Each structure stands twice: as C-alpha cells, then as structure tokens.
Structure 1
Amino acid sequence: MGFSCLVLVFVVQQLFGQSSAYLLIHGEPTNYVSAVGDPGMTNPNVRVALEAWNFCNEVGFEVPNVGSPRWADCTDLYCSSDSGTSSLSLFSYSTLLISQVIGTTNNPATLCKRICNGRYSYQLGVGNVYLGGGLVNNGSQCRVLHKVNETDNRLGAGDKFPIMGFESYADPDLFAKEKELYLGSLCEVQESPNPWQFWMIMVKNGNFDKNTTLCPENGKKISKIVTDRNFPCFGEGCMNQPVVYHKYSMLGGNQKVYLTGEFNGTYDLDANLGENVGNNSFFSVSWRKNTSTGSWIFSHRLTTSTKYPWLMLYLRADATEGFNGGYHYNGRGMLKKLPESPNFMVRLTLDIKLGGGPNSQFYLLDIGSCWKNNGEPCDGDVLTDVTRYSEMIINPETTSWCRPDNLVSCPPYHISPTGEIIYRNETDQFPYSAYHLYCSPGNGKYLEKPYDICDPYSNPQSQELVQILPHPEWAVHGYPEKKGDGWIGDRRTWELDVGALSSRLYFYQFSGKSFRSMPGGEASHNCTSVARNSNNQALDIRKLIDKALEKRLREGEGHLDVTVLAG
C-alpha cells in the first residue's frame, strides 16, 4: 500500500490533483486583497522550499551526507527580445548574487550552462533554442538565475553559515530552524509593506518509535513513553529523515518560456531509485507554469512502503514570520498578511488524479493555528501552547466516526448556518455525518465528557483537531455538499468562504484567535481550519495561515495549480 499527501496550508493525506487557489481577505466593504506574496501565482520566478519532519515535527537525526532537512529552489527568470524590450521582468534582479553568466549560442542543439559553487545562471542565446526537445524561445534571450546553490542546501548541523547573522547549532532541531531562516534570507522578495519568501513543501514520516524519547507528550519531556496507542515502526531508526534529490529549476515549455523544477526522494535509505521506485517509499513535487492562466501547477506524488506505511506530503503557505501550525519555531513563508475570519475566502482549482484508499485522507483545505486555552496567542511555551487544526476531508471512502453511539468523536456542539447551537446528544438534529472526528487538547483542564485526547506525540505541543466531511451544512459556504464532489474525474474550481465556515467550528475555550496555516491536499491525520468562537467572535487568522497551503496525498499523484490571495 502506498500513500501520498499534499499541503496547501491545508492538510491532506491521500491523493492529490491539480489546483489553483486564492486566499482573499476582506478589506473595504466590497474589496478583497491578497494575503500572499504572489497573488494568483503569476510571478514567473520560482520560490519553493522543502522541509522534512519526523513524527513530532522535529528533525531528530540527519541522514549522513544529506544535510539538514531544509532545502530551497529560488530561481529568477529574465527574458528580453532582440529589440531589448523585456518580455519577462526579472524579480529582484539587483539583489542577485551571480558568480558567472555563461555565453550565448545560436546552435539549436546546444545549451550553454555552467554551475558554480556560488550562485549560478545560464543564458539562452538569440535564435531558436531547444531544451528537452521542445522549442522554448524564438528570437529572444533568457537568463536563469539561481539564488540558492547546492552548498547552501547541503548545510548540516554544526556547519557555519556563509553569511553573518545566523547561528550554527550542533543540535539538528535547532540547526534546521536556523537554516530555514537563512534560506529565507536568500529567497526573500522585498515588497511593501512586508517581504515574503517561498511556498513550503513539507514531508513527514509517520513512524513513531515508542522506545525512544525523541517526542514529548503534550509538550512535556518524558523519560519513558507509556501508551496503548499503536504507531507504525519497523524498529530502531524508523523515524529517519528522507534522502532528497533536487532538480534545480530550468527553462521549459513550448513557445512560451517558463521555469520548471522538482524535489523528490525516499525514506528507504537503501533504495536505488535510479532504475525505478519499485516497492520503496517515494515522494515527488514538481512545478511548472500553467501557460493558460499564468499560475503555477504543482504536481504531487506520494507512495508508502512496508517500512514506511504512513507518510505525509504538503504544499503550504506559511506565515512569513512567527510560529507556523505545528511548528514552534520562527519560520518563513508566503503569507505576509494574516487573514481574520469571517472576512476571508480561498479560491482553489483541484484536479485529483488517483486516490489512496479508505485509510487515506485528502483535505480540500486544512488550516493550522496556535493559541493557548485561555485565548492568548502562542509564545513558544510548549506546555501551554496548543496547535489547532481544521480539515475538510473529501476522500469519499472516509467515514464518519462521529455518531450517536460514539459521541466521544463529536465536538460538544454544532453551530448551524443560522447560528443555532445543537448539542451532540440531540440525536434528531445534530449533523453527525458532517464530521469525521473531533479530539480535544491534551492540556485542557475542563474538557466536557465524553472526550478523546488528540495524539499527544505528533506535535511539539498539545493539539486540537476538527475534521469535517462533505455535507449540506458546509455547502452554504462553497464546500462540497456530498461525497464524491471534487473527487477523481470531477475537476472543480472551489470558492470557499473559509472565514464564514470557521466562525461555526467548535474549539476548546476558543476565543477570537489568528491562524497561521492553510493547506489543501491529502493527509491521514490532522489539519487546520479557520474558525470563530461560540460567541461568534472573529478569529485573527494569523495563526491559521502559517501553514496556509498544506496538501497531502496517499499512494497517489496529482497536480496543484495554486493561487492564494488575502484581502
């Protein structure tokens, strides 16, 4: 069995498809503005990073000769015609560090390219230049400029950063968070009023070795793990990081020039992917331009193996600074404005190619945030901070665990579109089939019985999770109305009133907070969503948008054409 996930600051763990998304925040009475650094994904330049997490969202141990599990592909494209008129503008060209620009060629079969230890570029000369067997440019000159090189991407714990302002750590967890900040500085796009850095791809290993103490329990360091919960693990070393391969962005396309690149890898450290994937775990995320709309298409594939039966893959739009959903360090991302419910929307085009079966969850949208049980914002104290997730699962094979005979998997109450509160024991009115499950934060002191605690190990702190399913209750906000909507063969463009729906979701002692992540895609576990408290107070989506674009796929593949806007 294989399994894939994607993240669009939504969380999903299943298959994924093609999608295009916008995150809009309400400003003036009738206007929305984008919350992301690249509205509509129309920028011709690549800003993509990749991070890998172990089960508790840390590094634990690095893979030898691979470096710290943070990588980036930040590439700028500059094309000019014979007359000298720019056909594509170079983004932040003056800030690039170019070690060498290679000469031009008029030979259709020749591409002059040179990669140096520093930043590098290659240039296509005037004439008909072919790349990968396809005509990429006719009568124009294009230059590709890379802002992150292999030396940057291979930095590992204990290494010194090439520039001042970044501290080296021997601890792999601390070094990884610093490396993300360093890569963000190389990729950063200076815009007023706030800069932005990159879309974040996230892969996560679901193996958990209960014989180790790598993961805290609800944020607490413990000397021994005692639990009756079952987690996959083949033995010592099962929580390893992946081997990652990087195809740096290069020119592609037919007639219309664009950049294309890819990250791929495996968790099976002895695998030889040179021949084929075989029975090994595998993930890949590639990007290219949609030449019709101008937005980016992200194609995702994720396959599990016998040793790695639970993997997650996300495409995220994280906050450009501060904590992200499930990540208790200062991070980097795309969300330069944090949306606040109820005034924000997400527009998403999704084309799912392959599903992962009943054990795989696919999230149309996942929003992640963080606030304390008393309503205060998270401050890095893992004992009192709580990660909050809300996820819309669209895999039609996912059943509802929330039932009249299993109230422990239901939120204490449901808020109808008209604002009516319906308690979970009101069996004639409560929409049980609208929920997959609800679980409570492990550090909650006044939980309403019956309750079930969310997995205490898979986040660096306590977490709370609301997973919803296609249902007429949510369709009023543009979400799927019934099972199968938007699934394989049903490509759709969704316009989701996330702010309004979030106003109706129950969170423990919830009190108008912000979200820092919004993912979309596939996943088998937690996810994030925008919400309001029981008093209908607006949430400050800051913390919800950190992971704003998360997608996961299980044993599937697909494409995501994303545009995120906020206003």
Structure 2
Amino acid sequence: MRRDGLRVAWEAWNFCNEVGREAPGMGSPRGADCFDLETSSDEHGQPVYSVAHLVTDADNRLGAGDPFPGSSPSTAPITDADLYAPAKELYLGDRCQVADSPAPWQFWMVMLKNGNLDTTAAICPENGRPARPFPQTSRFPCPGGAGCMNQPLLFHNRTALDDAGRWLRGGMFGTYDLDAGNRLGAGGDVSFYSVTWEKEVAASGGGGWAFHHKLRTSSKYPWLMLYLRSDATRGFSGGYHYDTRGMTKRVPESPDFKVRLTLEVKQGGGRNSQFYLMDMGSCWKNDGRACDGDTATDVTRYSEMIINPSTPAWCRPSRIDQCPPWHTFRNGSRVHRTDGARFPYGAYHVYCSPGNAARAEKPTTYCDPYSNPQAQEILQLLPHPVWGEFGYPTAKGQGWVGDPRAWELDVGAMSHALYFYQDPGTPPARRRWTSLDVGTEIYISDKAEAAEWTLSGFDVLVPEQQQASNSCW
C-alpha cells in the first residue's frame, strides 16, 4: 500500500544557463531522488515502512552521448551537453511523474548556479543574440581565468529510513572547487552547498517535509545561488527556453493566487546575500505575446523580495534610473517615480529594463544581458509598508535571522500591481508565473560567506481548487 512519497530533482547552472560538461564527481549536474513510501504491517499490526526508489544511481549518472534507458536503438545519441541536459530532465520527469488532477506532477527542483562568467570565451548570448568576447570586468567575476564556469562536484545521499524506521532523510551536496579533496565541508576557502530533506513518517498526522539548505562562497566562486523551486509541470520555467518539469500542476496567474511557506534563516550569507523570500519567474515578449523559445525576442521577467536588512534601496530620488517608472498601490492608484513626495523609493532595491526594450522610459538601467539565454527584466523589492497589504514584510529584519515565520503571501495580487515593461500600444501580457522559489543569491562576495536556512510548508494556492497545488508535504 502506498502512503507517501517525495520527488526532488536538482540542476547545476553556469552563467546564462550554459550547461557545460558533466562534472567529474559522483553525479551529474542534473539528477533526481524520487520514491514512494510503501506501508505494510508486522505481526502485531504495527506499520512497517519501506522506500521504493524510482530513479537509480545509473539514471543520475547519465551524461551526454549516453542513450536513455527504454529509448529506441535507432534513436541517435545526443552528444551536445547543452541539448542532453533538457532531454535528461524530461527523462527523469517520466521516471518521477505522479498521475494527478488537473495534471500530473514530477518533482521539486533544487537550482544551484555559478555566477562566474568568462567574458573572453563568449559562451553566453547577449540579450539572446550571439555575443563577442570582451575583456573581463568587475561586474562579471572569473577568478583564475579560463575554466571558471566549470560544473560542480555533486554527491547524493539517497533518501532512506533511519534505523528506527521513523525518519526519512536524503540530500545532495558538493563544491565548485574541483581540487577541494578532503577539505569539502571543513570550512576555509572552499565553496560548499548542500540540501537535505527530512520527514518524521511516524508523527501524528504524518508530519511534513523540511528542506535544509547551506551555501558558502569561496575566492574562486564569489557569486553563487541556491533555490528551491516550484516549477510548472510543462512548458518554460523561469529562465529557460526549453520544456521543463516541476511541481506546479496549475500555473498561477496574476492576480488570483497565494503562496504559503515557513522560513527560518539561520545564517544570512553576508551583506551581499540577496535572500529572496519569494522569487517569481515568468516569460513574455515585449509585445505581450507568450514566449515561444526565440531567445532574440523572449524576455524572462523576475520579481524578487529581498529580506536581507543589509540590502539598500538603490532606487532613490537622485537615481530614478534604478526605479520602475510607476508604482501601483493596492487600491489601484498610481504614482510616477518623479513624484518625490509620494513614490515609495524605499520599497525597491533596484529595477532594470530588458536589454531589447525599444521604448524603455528614460533614464533607465538595462539588465545584465548575459545571465539568461534571453533578455531579462528584474524588479527587486525590499520590506516596506506598501507591501504589508499583500502579506509581505513591512520593515527590515522581519523574517530574517532570529525571526522565523510562517508567511501567507498574496503573490498574485502583488504581481498584478508591479510594473513590467511592455511596448506601447500592445495588449497586456498574461502574467503566468511558471516558477516560484525561495533561496539566496550571494552576489560577488569579497570573502567567504555562508548562508543557511530551512524551508517547509511551501504551498501554492489557486482559487479554482482552494487547496495547495503542491501537496507532497
């Protein structure tokens, strides 16, 4: 009899979602840990649990050129690592998929990303178009030169019951420093990441899953990111230009959805840790049409609430180029960024326009053109009273270290009110958020920094069902 289960997948990005070659560690940049928990009874009628894994170690080790088990012998092997990675995600999705209504779901996604960019290699496109090499700048770190965009070492602890049969635990961990050896996890100037998940299966009511994250930068890898994502089960997730898999069965659309979660931040990651209480990712073209995979015209749209109290408001009356042109209040009234008496400058860390926006209101700051396969638009928010009506933090320090909280965020209503660029005279885009995630981006630290946090009860609520669309907790 099947009582419970968990599906978790992971992926390691380089800058611009350039997949690169498989890591020379015990695993690949893309893998999964999916299982069902089988329940039976012993001779005394007491429950006995066992874990039935759905993905093997051999599945996770698959790399460019390897045929997928079950594929036709006549199918040509995929030798390009950048094409193999998305094909592997679809394969793992099939292995992990759960039949459900209104759509099947596959897994939570753990995203790890290395922000190093070798500008001399011209690997990443510039706003979705081929780029030319240019000299390294301080904006894009690449300590050590060529090779700074390597994939990490990755090690996997398959989910298992403890000896008492009471707790389920599993996880994955590793480092970008390929020469770390036995220094891994011992501190010092070595990057490190880990995600562990656990659940007390014998608890009253079944308990819930908790995800425990750790991330540490090093001198060679000063810009690292780690998130737990609920991606759409079909289509492009935030930042992708190909079909992906995930947990969200019904893609939430502004203004009608909410997100619940419980977050405890144990270490913040330093002053440059842009810790996102909620990061929303979507994609639509500047004329409002849905994205179709054409990286030259698609635009990834992000909105991120940063709760690190060390993060300043770059948006201010003297730097309106760092502000969105308009702010819309909950009651629908709007104020322009030039209205120094009414515009809530402190509510915004920074806004940047898509690099392919033909009619962006000037002055403006354009987004980094290399971080995604296509152009991107980013709106980064800070705790402020204007967000209180949506359930978000209203003051610095709320939800930060020493202040664990359960949140119910009206993400749909807030995302409906936020400014995003669109070409004048075009019909408004449907704001459908294919990725919702929590985690941190430690942005170019000048010393080794460590972040640690636990996330649980992460549910996306949509009005059609009035219940969680992520129901594996």
Q: Which residue of 2 aligns with 1:491?
A: 404
8 A Cα contact 2:238 2:300, kept in partner: yes
Is it true that 1:50 corresponds to 2:10 in the alignment?
Answer: yes
Q: Which residue of 2 aligns with 1:348?
A: 261
Moved more, 407-416 or 160-169: 160-169
Q: Which residue of 1 aligns with 2:158?
A: 248
Is it true that 1:148 corresponds to 2:55 in the alignment?
Answer: yes
Q: 1:393 to 1:283 in 2, by over 3 A?
A: same
8 A Cα contact 1:190 1:196, kept in partner: yes
Q: Which residue of 1 aligns with 2:413?
A: 500
Q: Which residue of 2 aligns with 1:471?
A: 384
Shift of 1:83: 5.6
Q: Which residue of 1 aligns with 2:178?
A: 269
Shift of 1:287: 0.1
Is it true that 1:195 corresponds to 2:104 in the alignment?
Answer: yes
Is it true that 1:359 corresponds to 2:272 in the alignment?
Answer: yes
Shift of 1:278: 2.8
Q: Which residue of 2 aligns with 1:70?
A: 30
CA distance in 1, matches of 2:177, 2:19: 17
Of 394, 397, 401, the match for 1:481:
394
Higher normalized contact order (CA 8 Å, seq sep 6+, divided by chain length): 1
Q: 1:84 to 1:345 in 2, by over 3 A?
A: farther
Shift of 1:145: 1.2
CA distance in 1, matches of 2:218, 2:442: 15
Q: 1:65 to 1:287 in 2, by over 3 A?
A: closer
Q: Which residue of 1 aligns with 2:250?
A: 337
Q: 1:43 to 1:388 in 2, by over 3 A?
A: farther
Q: 1:292 to 1:518 in 2, by over 3 A?
A: farther
8 A Cα contact 1:298 1:562, kept in partner: no
Shift of 1:496: 0.7
Shift of 1:267: 0.3
Is it true that 1:163 corresponds to 2:70 in the alignment?
Answer: yes
Is it true that 1:216 corresponds to 2:125 in the alignment?
Answer: yes
CA distance in 2, matches of 1:512, 1:43: 38
8 A Cα contact 2:264 2:403, kept in partner: yes
Q: Which residue of 2 aligns with 1:563?
A: 458
Aligned partner of residue 394 in structure 2, secondary structure: coil
Any idea what the Cα deviations from partners look like across 1:206-225, whole Å, max 9, x if unmatched? 11111101100000012324
CA distance in 2, matches of 1:476, 1:400: 20
8 A Cα contact 1:44 1:258, kept in partner: no
2:39 is matched by which residue type in structure 1? C
CA distance in 2, matches of 1:355, 1:329: 33
8 A Cα contact 2:118 2:136, kept in partner: no
Moved more, 58-67 or 334-343: 58-67
CA RMSD of aligned residues (A): 2.1
Q: 1:66 to 1:289 in 2, by over 3 A?
A: closer
8 A Cα contact 2:128 2:373, kept in partner: yes
Q: Which runs of 5+ in 1 are unaligned?
A: 1-41, 86-138, 526-552
Any idea what the Cα deviations from partners look like across 1:92-128, whole Å, max 9, x if unmatched? xxxxxxxxxxxxxxxxxxxxxxxxxxxxxxxxxxxxx
CA distance in 2, matches of 1:186, 1:485: 40
Q: Which residue of 2 aligns with 1:123?
A: none
CA distance in 2, matches of 1:225, 1:189: 47
1:159 is matched by which residue type in structure 2? D
Q: 1:445 to 1:213 in 2, by over 3 A?
A: same
Aligned partner of residue 55 in structure 2, secondary structure: coil
Q: 1:66 to 1:142 in 2, by over 3 A?
A: closer
CA distance in 1, matches of 2:215, 2:226: 7
Aligned partner of residue 515 in structure 1, secondary structure: coil
Q: 1:238 to 1:151 in 2, by over 3 A?
A: same
Aligned partner of residue 158 in structure 2, secondary structure: strand
CA distance in 2, matches of 1:84, 1:51: 43
8 A Cα contact 1:44 1:259, kept in partner: no
Shift of 1:228: 5.6
Of 303, 312, 315, the match for 2:228:
315
2:434 is matched by which residue type in structure 1? R
CA distance in 2, matches of 1:202, 1:43: 28
Shift of 1:500: 1.1
Aligned partner of residue 351 in structure 2, secondary structure: strand
Matched ranges for 1:108-147 at <5 A: 139-147=46-54
TM value normalised by structure 1: 0.75
Q: Which runs of 5+ in 2 are unaligned?
A: 423-427, 463-473
CA distance in 2, matches of 1:323, 1:245: 27
CA distance in 1, matches of 2:185, 2:232: 37
Stretches of 4+ aligned residues off by more than 4 angstroms: 65-68, 226-229, 290-293
Q: 1:177 to 1:167 in 2, by over 3 A?
A: farther
CA distance in 2, matches of 1:230, 1:503: 31
Q: Which residue of 1 aligns with 2:438?
A: 520
Is it true that 1:377 corresponds to 2:284 in the alignment?
Answer: no
Q: 1:63 to 1:344 in 2, by over 3 A?
A: same
Size of the aligned set, in residue pairs, is 445
CA distance in 2, matches of 1:45, 1:65: 27
Shift of 1:253: 7.8
8 A Cα contact 1:470 1:482, kept in partner: yes
CA distance in 1, matches of 2:380, 2:17: 20
8 A Cα contact 1:407 1:450, kept in partner: yes
CA distance in 2, matches of 1:437, 1:175: 36
8 A Cα contact 2:347 2:381, kept in partner: yes
Q: Which residue of 2 aligns with 1:26?
A: none
Matched residues, percent identical? 55
Is it true that 1:205 corresponds to 2:119 in the alignment?
Answer: no
Matched ranges for 1:358-507 at <5 A: 358-507=271-420
CA distance in 1, matches of 2:11, 2:184: 26
CA distance in 2, matches of 1:140, 1:429: 62
1:219 is matched by which residue type in structure 2? G
Q: Which residue of 2 aligns with 1:130?
A: none
Aligned partner of residue 329 in structure 1, secondary structure: coil
